[in-house]
């Protein structure tokens, strides 16, 4: 049996983002929805729990292997809002759409999904009212009925 060999870390390519300002999330069905992003957590990528491959022939270790499919995790964040957003939220919640994350350098990630939650937080004197939001990522092109990847558009230099 061969043991793994160490690999040295190389210098990354590209240009690291330096500041989170200004990042935005856009819902294609209502690009001027009446909330103002204060923070955004872009979607992550998850491989899921490992597949247990342990058998009665193992002698020391439980063994496992990665799953074949991956998923994108939800987009979450906080925003200031106009109370009139209620009408817009009711019209867009659970409606399949294109969601775009715009990063501070102008790069974008676009993918299919829907607005899952819009949850106003406690309102108190001396603080700006905020709501948390969550967009679910489907990776499903609801128009053409096919699996769909995230569309990356990088600005020059990244």
Distance of CA 22 to the CA centre of its chain: 17
Token pair in block for residue 6: 């160490």
Residue whose structure tokens are 């759409």:
97
What DSSP state is assigned to residue 56? T
What is the distance between the terminal CA atoms of the chain, rounded to a whole angstrom? 41
69 belongs to a structural domain: no
For residues 96-102, give the mean pLDDT: 98
pLDDT-derived band at 116 (thresholds 50, 70, 90) equals very high
61 belongs to a structural domain: no
65 belongs to a structural domain: no
115 belongs to a structural domain: yes
66 belongs to a structural domain: no
What DSSP state is assigned to residue 59? S
> In the predicted model, what is the mean pLDDT of the chain?
96
What percent of the chain lies above the pLDDT cut of 90?
94
How many domains in the chain? 1
Domain span holding position 146: 24-49+77-153
Residue whose structure tokens are 């001027």:
32
Q: Which residues lie across from 75 on neighbouring strands?
A: 135
70 belongs to a structural domain: no
91 belongs to a structural domain: yes
Flag whether pLDDT at 95 surpasses 70.
Answer: yes
143 belongs to a structural domain: yes
pTM (2 decimals)?
Answer: 0.90
Q: For 152, phi and psi rounded to 5 degrees?
A: -100, 130
Token pair in block for residue 31: 């690009």
């Amino acid at each position: 049996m061969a043991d793994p060999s160490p690999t040295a870390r190389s210098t990354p390519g590209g240009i690291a983002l330096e500041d989170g300002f200004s990042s935005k999330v856009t819902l294609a069905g209502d690009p001027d929805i009446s909330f103002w992003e204060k923070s955004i957590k872009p979607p992550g990528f998850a491989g899921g729990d490992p597949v247990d491959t342990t058998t009665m022939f193992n002698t020391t270790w439980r063994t496992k292997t990665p799953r074949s499919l991956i998923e994108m995790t939800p987009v979450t964040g906080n925003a200031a809002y106009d109370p009139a957003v209620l009408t817009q939220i009711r019209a867009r919640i659970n409606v399949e759409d294109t969601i775009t994350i715009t990063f501070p350098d102008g790069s974008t990630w676009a993918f299919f999904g829907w607005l899952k939650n819009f949850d106003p937080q406690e309102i108190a004197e001396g603080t700006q009212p905020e709501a948390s939001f969550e967009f679910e990522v489907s990776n499903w092109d609801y128009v053409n009925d096919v699996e769909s990847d995230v569309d990356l558009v990088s600005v020059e230099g990244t």
